[in-house]
Structure 1
Amino acid sequence: MSQLALDLLAVAPPTLDNFVAGSNGECLACLRALAEGGRAQRLVYLWGLPGSGRSHLLRALAGKGGRLLGPLSPLGDFAFSDDCPLYLADDAHRLDERRQKALFHLINQVRAAPSAALVASGDAPPLGLPLRDDLRTRLGWGLVFELHLLSDEEKAAALRTVAAERGVTVSADVVPWLLTHTSRDIRVLAELFHALDRHALARKRPITLPLLRDWLQTDEGRGFGRRPASGQD
C-alpha cells in the first residue's frame, strides 16, 4: 500500500472539525470562538459521562495553541504566563490537592487578564466535584455545558458521512450491525472503521457485512470488542 493511502487511513487527531456535535452545537460554537481569539466568555466548564467528548474538545483546543493541563501535569505548567492565551484543565475531578490549589490560583489570574481564557472539564457539574469548595465555586463562575452522548442515529450518520467523504463503498447493513455488535463509542467506531477500510483496500473489496465478520475474527479485528463507553472522549 502506498504511503499516501496509509496517511489517508490514519485516524485523525482530535479537532473541533471532527468532533461530532450532535446536540452539543452550542458548546462547540463557544469553543470555536475561543479558539479564534474571542473572549466574550473567558471561563468555560464542560462536564459529561465518559465518552461524551470532554477530552476530545480540550485536546482539539490544545492543537490551536492552548496549554493542556491534567492530573499528571507538572505543577509548573499551572503557572500563568502572559504569552499563553488559553488554558485547558482536563479531568479536574482527578486533581490532587496541590494541583487543585494551583488551578484555583490560575483561574484567578486568568480572570484578571482580559486576553486569557480557561476551559476545564470534569465528570460532574462544578458543585458535584470532589474538590475544594473555593475551586468548585470558581469552576461554576463561567459558562457550564453538559456534553450529551450521541444517539445511535447520530453515530450512524457520522460514519456514513466519513465513508462518503472518503469515497468508500459500504453496504447498507454494515453500520447498523456495527452499532449492535461492537463498541458504541464513536471514537472506537472510527478507529474500527479506519482499520476495516485498510483491510478492504488491501484486498480491493468493498466493505460488506461478510467482510466485516471475517475481519473481526482476525488478530486485528478481535481487538475491537464492545466497550462500555458510548461517546467520543
Structure 2
Amino acid sequence: MRENAPPKQLAFDLPIDPRYGREDFLVGPANEAAYGLIESWPDWPDTVLVLTGPSGSGKSHLASIWATRAHAWTVPAAEVTAGSVTHLVSNGALVIEDVDRAAGRDEAALFHLLNLARERRSPVLLTSGAGIDRLELATADLRSRLRLAPGVAILAPDDALLRAVIVKLFVDRQLVVDLSVVEALALRIDRSLGRAREVVAELDRDALGRGRRITRPLALAVLDRLGASVAGAEPEDED
C-alpha cells in the first residue's frame, strides 16, 4: 500500500442546476436556425411553433429563453389534461415540453389546447425529441395539427460547438481541465450534447471519488469504462 496515496473521497451525486439564460446558450450551425426563430418572436410565422431535437441538444434551454421573453408557463405534454386546458391557455403564452412523450396520454386535451390557443392567438412553443412524422399518436386530428405547425430542428453539433459545450460543462461544475481533456472527449464521444453532459458528469464523479484532478489519461479510462472508442489510450498517470 502506497503511503502517499490520496485519500478516497465520497462522491455525492448532487444535481448541477443547468444555466438557462440567454447568455449561456452557445450558438453554432447546428442550432442557429432554431435560435434565430426563438429570437424572432413575436414575429413568428404562426401561433404554434414546434422545436425538435435529440435529448440534451438544447431544446429546453431555448424554450426557457423564449418563456422568459414571452412570460410563458411551461408544462410537460404528458400532464396536459382536459381539466387544465382552459387554465393553461389563460396565461397567454405556453411552452409544452416533450410532445413525443404524450403518445397514449390525453391526446384529445392537447388537441383542444392547440385549438383554443389558436382561437385566442396565444403563442405556443412545443418541444419534441423526435420529428412529428415519427410520433406514434393515435389521434389523427392532433397529428395533422402538429404537422401543419411550422417547425425547426436542432441538428447534431459540429466539432467547434461540441468542444465549446464541453468546456462550458466543465466551467458550470467549476472544474479546470487541460485542453487535451477537451480534445480527448470531443474526438471520442458520440456527436451529441446530451452524451457530452453525461461524460462530463461521470468524470466529475470519478475524479472526486479518487481525490484527483481530471487528466487526459483519466478521461480516456472513463470513456473506456463507458464504452466509448479509446484507440491509443494511455495508462493513467500518477499525478
What interval of TM-score do these two structures reach, taking the shorter chain for normalisation? 0.5 to 0.7
For these two proteins, the number of residue pairs brought into alignment is 209
Q: Who is 2:126 aligned against? A: 120
Mapped partners of 2:85, 2:64: distance in 1 = 16
Residue from 43, 46, 66 that aligns with 2:51: 46
TM-score (norm 2): 0.64
Q: In the alignment, residue 48 of structure 2 is paired with which amino acid?
A: L
Secondary structure at the aligned position of 1:76 is classed as coil
The correspondence of residues 72-87 of structure 1 with structure 2, limited to 5 A, is 72-81=79-88, 83-87=90-94
Mapped partners of 2:39, 2:85: distance in 1 = 23
Computed over aligned residues only, the root mean square deviation of the Cα atoms, in angstroms, reads 4.0
Instruction: Determine if contact 1:47/1:145 at 8 Å carries over to the other structure.
Output: yes
How much does 1:148 deviate?
A: 0.6
TM-score (norm 1): 0.65
User: Which has the larger displacement, 116-125 or 105-114?
Assistant: 116-125
Mapped partners of 1:26, 1:146: distance in 2 = 8
How much does 1:150 deviate?
A: 0.8
Residue from 157, 177, 194 that aligns with 1:170: 177
Instruction: Determine if contact 2:51/2:127 at 8 Å carries over to the other structure.
Output: yes
Structure 1 residues 151 and 65, CA gap change in structure 2 (3 angstroms): same
Q: Who is 1:229 aligned against? A: none
Q: Who is 1:27 aligned against? A: 34
User: Which has the larger displacement, 22-31 or 101-110?
Assistant: 22-31
Mapped partners of 1:52, 1:19: distance in 2 = 11
Secondary structure at the aligned position of 2:84 is classed as helix
The correspondence of residues 53-72 of structure 1 with structure 2, limited to 5 A, is 53-58=58-63, 61=66, 65-72=72-79
Instruction: Indicate the percent of aligned positions where both proteins have the same amino acid.
Output: 25
After superposition, what is the alpha-carbon deviation per residue over 1:73-127, rounded to whole angstroms, capped at 9, x for unaligned?
554333354641322223323324562211111111111223x211123344434
Structure 1 residues 191 and 123, CA gap change in structure 2 (3 angstroms): closer
Instruction: Determine if contact 1:79/1:102 at 8 Å carries over to the other structure.
Output: no
Structure 1 residues 204 and 30, CA gap change in structure 2 (3 angstroms): same
Q: Who is 2:135 aligned against? A: 129
Q: Rg: which structure is higher?
A: 2
Unaligned stretches of 5+ residues in structure 1: 1-8, 227-233
Unaligned stretches of 5+ residues in structure 2: 1-13, 229-239
Mapped partners of 2:17, 2:187: distance in 1 = 24
Instruction: Determine if contact 1:70/1:89 at 8 Å carries over to the other structure.
Output: yes
